[in-house]
């Protein structure tokens, strides 16, 4: 070895150096902090509440100086108890939330599946929502039109094309959101626990699609309480704790730590 970024190869008594290809990051998080202020009220009666007397803000820190690099092609599982910030982290990465401080750098096109309503308009039809969602993610109308039938078929909503989004069941909404998100062909795919809203067969279909995404070199962030799915699917796991500490590493190692700490 010579230095940190090249290696030597012997060839017929001579040697020459080739540079090592540096690993590329899909997401770079640098000293990220997110603070939420939640207004609370003392017991001052109706008049006091109407006049905004004695209101104070409760400060909640979701993240404090959190830094993390996620390599391109990585399938990162994110685990932790409720309230540790798993979904908040995805919302910060996707731009739904803005950091209080720190920076997030995204290298590639992103597709997100975080909450059923994000990116969809409740009073628009399934058809209109597909065009709106895809257009907001950079697809041309002609591209969307070509993939429209494929989206509808995958979502199993052939009989609900002109139904308003708010009239769909939660399972139908989940199917539509996932089917539309994957057709935007993102480099980075964010998946929240909301996948569990769909039925078991659709859940299997979603995992099959995300497995193909992983094989093609896409970067995937997968939040779930299903530790078996995390262990099976992910190449690395991030375990978030309520004290803002975290652990990241091989799936088996990190999941074992999580189970020991949360017996």
Q: pTM (2 decimals)?
A: 0.79
Q: Is the pLDDT of residue 71 over 70?
A: yes
Q: How does the average pLDDT of the chain come out, rounded?
A: 84
Q: Report the domain count for the chain.
A: 1
15 occurs within a structural domain: no
8 occurs within a structural domain: no
Question: Confidence band (pLDDT; 50, 70, 90) for 196?
Answer: low
Q: What is the CATH number of the domain that holds 209?
A: 3.40.50.300
pLDDT for position 9 = 40
Enter the tokens of residue 45: 């009666």
229 occurs within a structural domain: yes
43 occurs within a structural domain: no
246 occurs within a structural domain: yes
Question: Confidence band (pLDDT; 50, 70, 90) for 43?
Answer: low
Least confident segment among 3-17, 63-77, 225-239: 3-17
Q: Cβ distance 190 to 118 under 8 Å?
A: no
Count the neighbouring beta carbons within 10 Å of the beta carbon of residue 261. 11
Instruction: Mention every residue, 6+ apart, whose C-beta is less than 8 A from residue 59.
Output: 35, 36, 37
Phi, psi of 212 (to 5 degrees): -65, -35
Angle at 80 between CA 78 and CA 82, to 5 degrees: 120
Least confident segment among 85-99, 102-116, 136-150, 198-212: 198-212
Question: Confidence band (pLDDT; 50, 70, 90) for 49?
Answer: low
19 occurs within a structural domain: no
Count of residues in the chain: 263
pLDDT tens, 92-122? 999 989 999 999 999 998 888 776 667 789 9
213 occurs within a structural domain: yes
Looking up tokens 């190869």 gives: 9
What domain range includes position 217?
A: 70-261
The residue-averaged pLDDT of 214-218 equals: 93
63 occurs within a structural domain: no
The residue-averaged pLDDT of 191-215 equals: 79
pLDDT for position 61 = 87
């Amino acid at each position: 070895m010579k230095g940190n970024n090249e290696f030597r190869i012997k060839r017929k008594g001579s040697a020459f150096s080739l540079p090592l290809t540096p690993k590329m990051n899909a997401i770079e998080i640098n000293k990220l902090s997110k603070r939420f202020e939640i207004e609370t009220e003392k017991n001052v009666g109706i008049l006091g509440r109407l006049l905004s007397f004695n209101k104070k803000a409760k400060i909640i820190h979701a993240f404090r100086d959190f830094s993390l690099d996620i390599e391109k092609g990585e399938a990162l599982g994110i685990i932790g108890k409720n309230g540790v910030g798993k979904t908040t982290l995805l919302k910060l990465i996707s731009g739904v939330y803005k950091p209080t401080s720190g920076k997030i750098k995204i290298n590639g096109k992103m597709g997100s599946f975080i909450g059923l309503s994000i990116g969809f308009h409740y009073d628009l039809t399934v058809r209109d929502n597909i065009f709106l969602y895809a257009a907001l993610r950079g697809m041309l109308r002609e591209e969307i039109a070509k993939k429209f039938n494929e989206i509808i078929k995958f979502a199993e909503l052939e009989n609900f094309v002109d139904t308003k989004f708010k009239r769909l069941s939660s399972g139908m909404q989940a199917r539509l959101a996932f089917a539309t998100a994957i057709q935007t062909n993102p480099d980075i795919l964010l998946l929240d626990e909301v996948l569990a809203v769909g039925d078991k067969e659709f859940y299997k279909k979603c995992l099959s699609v995300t497995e193909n995404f992983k094989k093609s070199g896409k970067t995937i962030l997968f939040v779930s309480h299903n530790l078996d799915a995390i262990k099976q699917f992910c190449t690395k796991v991030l375990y978030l704790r309520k004290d803002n500490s975290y652990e990241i590493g091989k799936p088996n190692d990190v999941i074992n730590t999580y189970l020991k700490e949360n017996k």
